[in-house]
Amino acid sequence: MFDPNHDRISLRRQCELLGLSRSTAYYRPHGEDAVNLGIREAIDAQYTRTPFYGVERMTAHLRREGWSVNPKRVRRLMREMDLVAIYPKPHLSLSNRANPTYPYLLGGVTVDRPDQVWASDITYIRLRGGFVYLTAVMDWYSRYVVSWELSNTLDAAFCVEALERALAISQPEIFNTDQGGQYTSDAFTGRLKKAGIRISMDGRGRVYDNIFVERLWRTVKYEEVYLNHYESMPEAWMGLARYFRFYNQERPHQGLEWRTPAEVYFGTQGAQDDPMIAAAAVTPVALRAPSVTAAPPSCFHLNSAQKWS
C-alpha cells in the first residue's frame, strides 16, 4: 500500500520497492463521464425496444438521435453492458473459454409445473450518475421471481448469491442460463451440481432460448426503471424491491389466466395475503459497492432483514 505521507520513505522509493511506475501512485480513478452515461441510457432504451440491433445499426440509430459516436465506442459500451444482438451466428457451439458449457435441455420440453425449470439472466440498470447490474432467478412455469440481486460489477458472486437465496426457498429440476462467464463459473455450476440440478445453457447469442427472463427485463424496465430516475444504488434497490413484490403478488398475467405469479407458484388464490409467501417475497441479501459515490460506505452491504440508514 502506498503511504504518500510516510516520514521516512519517499513515494519514489515506495514505487521502486513495489516495482510500480510512479504514475500509478498519482492515479485517481474517475467515474463514467456524463456523455458515456447518456449513451448507455440511449443504448439500453433502444435495445429494450429492438434487441436485434447490432453494433452498426445501434450506431446509426444513436447518430440519428444526435449522439457523436463510432462503432468502436458503441461496441465497447454494449460489451460492458453485456448486450448481444439477437440474430443467428455461425459456430454457436464452439468456445475457447476455460469454463465448460452445457447443452440446451429445453428444446421440445413441455413445462407444466412449478420448480420444473428455473432460469436466470443479467440486465443493465441505469442510475442518474452511474449504473448497476440486476440478476434474477425466475420459475418458468409461474413466472415467479424467486430471488434477485444488484451489483456494480459483472462478477459471478452476485449471481451465486441470488442462486443461494433461491435454493433456500425451493429447488428446480433444470436450471437454464446463457453462456456468460458468471454462469459457467465453477462457483455457479458447482452449486447446481451439488444440489443435483441439471444444467441447461442457451446457444451463444440466442436470447430467445431464455425468452421468459427477457420478457421480465422488458416489463421491469418499462413499468419501473424508465419511470423512475434512480439517484443511487440504494434508491434502485428500494424501487426494485417494491416492484418485484408487486410483480409477484399483485400483477395479473394474461399468460397465467390473469392470475399472479405467486398464486400459480404457491398454488393459492390468496397468495398476496399469505404471510409465509410475503416473507418469501424477493429482497436481495447483499449489494456490491455502487458505481457512484452517492452511497455512504455503511450502505455497501445490505441484509434483507435490515433497513438502509
In the chain, the amino acid numbered 275 is P
Check whether residue 219 and residue 150 sit in a common domain.
yes
Check whether residue 57 and residue 129 sit in a common domain.
no
Check whether residue 69 and residue 130 sit in a common domain.
no
Does residue 231 belong to any structural domain of this protein?
Answer: yes
Q: What is the CATH number of the domain that holds 163?
A: 3.30.420.10
Does residue 88 belong to any structural domain of this protein?
Answer: no
Check whether residue 22 and residue 46 sit in a common domain.
no
Q: What is the pLDDT of residues 19-78, one digit of tens each?
A: 777 666 665 555 567 888 889 989 988 988 887 788 998 999 999 989 999 999 999 999
DSSP three-state, residue 213: helix
* C-alpha torsion sign, points 264, 268, 273, 274: negative
Check whether residue 214 and residue 74 sit in a common domain.
no
Check whether residue 66 and residue 23 sit in a common domain.
no
Q: What percent of the chain has pLDDT above 70? A: 74
When the pLDDT of each residue in the chain is averaged and rounded to a whole number, the result is 79
Helix runs in the chain, H state only: 11-18, 22-26, 34-49, 55-64, 71-80, 157-167, 181-184, 186-194, 211-220, 233-249, 261-266, 275-280
Check whether residue 214 and residue 140 sit in a common domain.
yes
Provide the pLDDT for residue 95: 44
Domain range for 18 is 1-30
Q: What's the domain count of the chain?
A: 3
Q: What is the pLDDT of residues 77-107, one digit of tens each?
A: 998 887 877 654 443 333 446 778 899 898 8
Strands 117-126 and 131-139: antiparallel
Does residue 87 belong to any structural domain of this protein?
Answer: no
Check whether residue 187 and residue 271 sit in a common domain.
yes
Does residue 111 belong to any structural domain of this protein?
Answer: no
Check whether residue 76 and residue 143 sit in a common domain.
no
Does residue 308 belong to any structural domain of this protein?
Answer: no
pLDDT band at 10 (very low <50, low <70, confident <90, very high): confident
Provide the pLDDT for residue 31: 52
- The pTM of this model reads 0.68
Provide the pLDDT for residue 6: 73
Q: Which of 82, 39, 88 is nearest to 209 (CA)?
A: 88
Q: What is the pLDDT of residues 180-217, one digit of tens each?
A: 889 999 999 999 999 999 999 986 544 556 788 888 99
Provide the pLDDT for residue 113: 94
Check whether residue 270 and residue 150 sit in a common domain.
yes
Does residue 309 belong to any structural domain of this protein?
Answer: no
Does residue 292 belong to any structural domain of this protein?
Answer: yes
Helix axes of 55-64 and 34-49: crossing angle, nearest 10 degrees: 110
Does residue 224 belong to any structural domain of this protein?
Answer: yes
Q: What is the pLDDT of residues 215-257, one digit of tens each?
A: 899 999 989 998 888 988 999 999 999 999 999 999 999 889 9
Check whether residue 46 and residue 21 sit in a common domain.
no
* Location of C-alpha cell 458449457: 101
Check whether residue 38 and residue 143 sit in a common domain.
no
Chosen domain end from 80, 105, 140? 80
Mean pLDDT, range 147-176, rounded to an integer: 94
